[in-house]
Amino acid sequence: MQGQMDWHTARALLEWQVELGATEAIGDSPVNSYDLPADTPWKPPVRPRPAARPAPAAPAPAPAAPAVDPVAEARARAGAAQDLDALRAAMADFDHCELKRGARSLVFSDGQPTARVMIVGEAPGSEEDRQGKPFVGRAGQLLDRMFAAIGMARDHPDPGRALYITNMLPWRPPGNRDPNAQELAMMRPFVDRHIELAAPDVLLFMGRVSATTLLQTATGITQLRGNWHDFLHRPVLPMLHPAYLLRNPAAKRHAWADLLTLQAKLRSLP
């Protein structure tokens, strides 16, 4: 029958099958589905794993900043000062003492730098911090009266009767507390150089802090006072601090005895 079907008839039959919903062509002979190969289960495509990135190298540790030794730096700065003005500038540029940040003034010295007698006190108080000079508060006023009794003054034009005054610390401790060991250690080279540059004949260590620190002793000021010691090849007389005398008026008799001892020493020195 297929041999007798022309082209137009075959096309009409095919279109009729499409209209009926046929979607697949059927072969001339039946197909045994059991003979067909089993369907291969679907597997996701295997993608090559990307090569692992090397872990970033740890940053090289920054070189440690060299530790600063405040005492060594103070010693170098003080030793480089060739006069009192240079020493004052070196102290002003020294930034390792925290007292500097809370103080109003750098209290360097007062009096005549050529004086035969140099007084080393403790630290500035509130009035000293305000004026920028040592011993100008109540204790300083008493000190002036004490030395006036033997004909001496910080502003006397005669070096033999003049006074030159400084402190262990140039900056006021908060609340007028005692200087601590670290503060005294780092400022000690400036004090030593200050004495060398002023070159007095006699030193007076006024109060416990300066006497025990510079003489490196644990002996109290009441035992040290009235006796001569040696510091940087100069005679030293420790004395009671005027602030102590204000609190203990009975001790003024010891201060008067020390003033007479000083007077006799000055007469004995060339």
**From first to last of its 270 residues, what are the pLDDT tens digits of the chain?**
445 677 777 777 777 777 776 666 666 666 666 665 665 566 666 667 766 677 777 777 766 655 789 999 999 999 999 999 999 999 999 999 999 999 999 999 999 999 999 999 999 999 999 999 999 999 999 999 999 999 999 999 999 999 999 999 999 999 989 999 999 999 999 999 999 999 999 999 999 999 999 999 999 999 999 999 999 999 999 999 999 999 999 999 999 999 999 999 999 998
Cβ(194)–Cβ(166) below 8 Å = yes
Side-chain-side CA neighbours of residue 131 (13 Å) = 12
What amino acid is encoded at 200 in this protein? Answer: P
In this prediction, residue 1 carries a pLDDT of: 47
What amino acid is encoded at 224 in this protein? Answer: L
In this prediction, residue 39 carries a pLDDT of: 59
Cβ(124)–Cβ(236) below 8 Å = no
- How many Å apart are CA 82 and CA 85, to the nearest integer? 8
- How many Å apart are CA 201 and CA 218, to the nearest integer? 25
Beta pairing class for 117-121 and 202-206: parallel
Name beta bridge partners: 119.
Answer: 165, 204
In this prediction, residue 139 carries a pLDDT of: 97
Torsion of CA 124, 127, 131, 133, to 10 degrees: -40
Residue among 142, 167, 165, 162 nearest 151 (CA):
162
Residue among 214, 205, 253, 257 nearest 232 (CA):
214
- The DSSP code for 75 is H
Q: Give the list of residues 6+ apart from residue 117 with CB closer than 8 angstroms, or none.
A: 152, 162, 163, 164, 200, 201, 202, 203, 204, 262, 266
In this prediction, residue 40 carries a pLDDT of: 59
- Report residue 184 as tokens: 């005294």
In this prediction, residue 7 carries a pLDDT of: 72
Cβ(155)–Cβ(147) below 8 Å = no
Q: Structural domains in the chain? A: 71-268 (3.40.470.10)
Q: Give the list of residues 6+ apart from residue 152 with CB closer than 8 angstroms, or none.
A: 117, 161, 162, 163
- Report residue 151 as tokens: 């004909």
- The DSSP code for 242 is H
Cβ(265)–Cβ(201) below 8 Å = no
